[in-house]
Amino acid sequence: MRLKDKVAIVTGAARGIGRATALRLAEEGAIVIAGDVDILGDEETTDIIHDHGGKAISMRINVSDRSSVFLAVDHVIREFGRIDILVNNAGIVRDSRLIKMEEVDFDAVINVNLKGVFNCTQAVAPHMVKQGGGSILNASSIVAIYGNFGQTNYVASKAAVLGMTRVWARELGRYNIRVNAVAPGWIRTRMTEGVPDKVIAKMMDWVSLRCMGEPEDIANAYLFLASDESDYITGHVLSVDGGARV
């Protein structure tokens, strides 16, 4: 097992990529703290892990609320004594064209997708420094690199996450803390369920493999970057996009 007895926090673990990541890390022996505002979905995730013989607890974490984040991290430290892996996966979309976007929707996306990553990392990093190492993994997106129509707020948040990833890799490397990002392409999740078929077909013309990815594809990338197999990789952005726009 590549992550035997490692303690891992996965945010946005109630469904989709977050759930797939929590399950994959648990399969490899990690003790998973599944965090989400959707506690029912969160508990479903931990139930699946338990049914497969893994170790996990569910915890309500609102990443945009600093007090929620710091209380959760303190609880994990009291319970397990360390945090080895942080997967900053929680995210939302509130799409609209620039001229129609409401301020409340811009702020909501920035607060979860960007400030949430900052909050969780700032809460966890001092514990990783004290213990002498760790792996921090941030969810970015292919749109952070190429942009996307109607996603000013989402693209801004995901592009900023790439910048923070590189800054933190520089700042925390001396403490044996690796910081990397994953940039998913078109993945079959609840976020993409409502996209019209004709739009999906057009997007697939830009994907070399001509198909959408699955949450497990991103989970496998997180697993690699969390494991010792990537112990000389930091400040990297791993695109998992089927060869989009190659």
Residues annotated as part of the active site: 154
How long, in residues, is the chain?
A: 246
Which structure tokens are listed for 42?
């969160």
Report how far apart, in Å, the C-alpha atoms of 100 and of each of 107, 146, 155, 156 are: 14, 21, 16, 16
HSE at residue 196, side-chain half, CA atoms within 13 A, is: 3
Cβ proximity of 115 and 62 under 8 Å: no
Q: Where are the beta strands (DSSP E) in 49-187?
A: 55-60, 85-88, 134-139, 177-184
Beta-bridge partners for 59: 35
* Torsion sign, CA atoms 201, 203, 204, 206: positive
Residue 14 backbone dihedrals phi, psi, to 5 degrees: -75, -20
